[in-house]
Chains A and B, each alone.
Chain A
């Protein structure tokens, strides 16, 4: 080997490039081929409408057909309340649970709906919330309602399924953020005269805020892309015609792949906009370490 060859290898190694670094290649290639490439392909395809009409025809079609553009509103109508409810509720529950001694049982139970997935939860709710299901039976038996509540095949069914699968998720995330806050901070607040409410708003909440922004973003993304629940538990023709449904229909029922890609791109765009807004808001608050360090 010549001297220059050796130096090149050494120089590369010093920059972090050697045989070991090549190990990332399979993973990188994999993601590039099966994730990035389809996205780009889909983006390009979205500009090639099946029936011609210019490169924006698919997007124009989306925004001119009420059947299509209403889905944005319908999806947001489900996703935003579900996200807010799940995230807001997770905070007081996480704050209480972190004081518990045996959290594992509770967290295990709450992981079950996440593990089972949306299809199973949908089937469960269809049985449980049905007109003859246990919930309605209890309501009737105890006189809380005169007739069975219509909770399936409508907006409420989908909303409830999002809560059942979404709340454990936001709860576990929030719990991990909450337990990362040094308990001495609250103790110091108490010593300085702050009561529970003051401690929450002036100490805990500001420190939780960056984590909550992430939780909101992740929860929103889950809720916005709701799919099987909207079909099985909702009324996919009407009130719960979410955007993922029309994307799916365009691809697999109308075989209009360009339109489907356009809708998928729009879905991605809306998610990116909302996430960017949340993460942007996050940069405005303190994001440093929340367990106080030592000298």
Chain B
């Protein structure tokens, strides 16, 4: 369209800001990757040479195999349980209007709106009293608090999208509740469930505060282990820390890429936009 010089200048400035942001972001990631692969790196643009030694070192030093296993267990359990609780709940919320529904909806919204550290500290206190903190189940329970409502809120629109007459038709042909769910609803809901669970997966891998507050030495996830490594940076070599960071980054980004095949980037962000 016809644009004045002022408008073109403004447009250019905005683009410059975006490009600057993205460049810095990529450079930040790049510097971690390069650092993790370099031999000695002091006052030059790039390290003197490249070596995988830091990865080997990180693998042992930070007990990565065990950490990865714990992470897989926690994330797997969280994904599974939040799906099992969240999907039926979403179905009920979508299909029924009962007194107090608004209050229940608010109840599900709160854990998504309140930031994890705020409710994490009281929750960790309770888990400690229940002697669950420090165990893997404590971590799993803690991580479930935001993910169950997340699954519910994501799935409600998917359920609403299914024509209720399909369910009525299934009932007319003799399907009970169980069969209805398994043979009709779940297949129709599969894209939504997939999207929701993948998002839960990505978010749980990156969820720091809740795991940090409730984990013990044997129940740390990768991100918490990374934190401790960075925290003790004076003791450990920065490059092996960066190697661990790269392992974390690759894990997260692989799942992100998979998730993006099914969802829009925006959905990762808009958790509860009424």
Contact = CB atoms under 8 A, between A and B. Distances in A.
Given A16-B98, A34-B144, A119-B208, A175 B125 contact: no
B135 interface: no
A96 B10 CA distance: 10
Nearest to B269: A172
A96 B115 contact: no
B97 A16 contact: yes
Contacts of B89: 23-24, 26-28
13 contacts: A16-B96, A21-B96, A28-B89, A31-B111, A45-B122, A111-B269, A120-B249, A122-B230, A128-B32, A169-B269, A172-B266, A222-B115, A264-B118
Interface in B249-272: 249, 252-253, 256, 260, 264-266, 268-270
B42 A92 contact: no
Given A108-B260, A128-B32, A173-B270, 15 more contacts: A15-B98, A28-B104, A30-B148, A31-B107, A34-B126, A35-B145, A41-B126, A114-B269, A115-B206, A117-B207, A126-B233, A127-B35, A128-B27, A251-B121, A261-B125
B192 interface: no
Interface stretch (B16-24, B59-67, B72-80): B16-24
A257 interface: yes
A127 to B, nearest CB: 5
Interface residues of A, number: 91
B239 to A, nearest CB: 9
B18 A106 contact: yes
Nearest to A172: B269
A38 B125 contact: yes
A1 interface: no
Interface string A224-259: 110110011000000000001001100110000100
Chain B interface helix/strand/loop/mixed: helix
B233 to A, nearest CB: 8
Chain A CB count within 10 A is highest, among B27, B28, B241, for B28
Contact of B125 (A27, A214, A260): A260
A221 B113 contact: yes
A89 B91 contact: no
B214 to A, nearest CB: 11
8 interchain residue pairs of minimum CB distance: A42-B122, A117-B206, A27-B89, A16-B98, A23-B92, A225-B115, A38-B122, A124-B28
B85 interface: yes
B44 to A, nearest CB: 9
B195 interface: no
B25 A267 contact: no
Interface string B1-38: 00000010011001101100110111111111001000
Contacts of A121: 28
B93 interface: yes
B171 interface: no
A257 B238 CA distance: 34
A113 B25 contact: yes
A231 B97 CA distance: 46
Nearest to A129: B28
A288 B198 CA distance: 33
A267 B116 CA distance: 12
Given A20-B96, A35-B145, A41-B125, A114 B91 contact: no
A133 B207 CA distance: 27
Contacts of A132: 41-43
B245 interface: yes
Given A111-B265, A251-B125, A225 B152 contact: no
Given A16-B97, A119-B208, A214-B273, A93 B17 contact: yes
B119 interface: yes
Contacts of B266: 107, 172, 175-176
Contact of B256 (A23, A115, A175, A257): A115
B91 A247 contact: no
Interface in A62-108: 89, 92-93, 96-97, 104, 106-108
Contacts of B152: 27
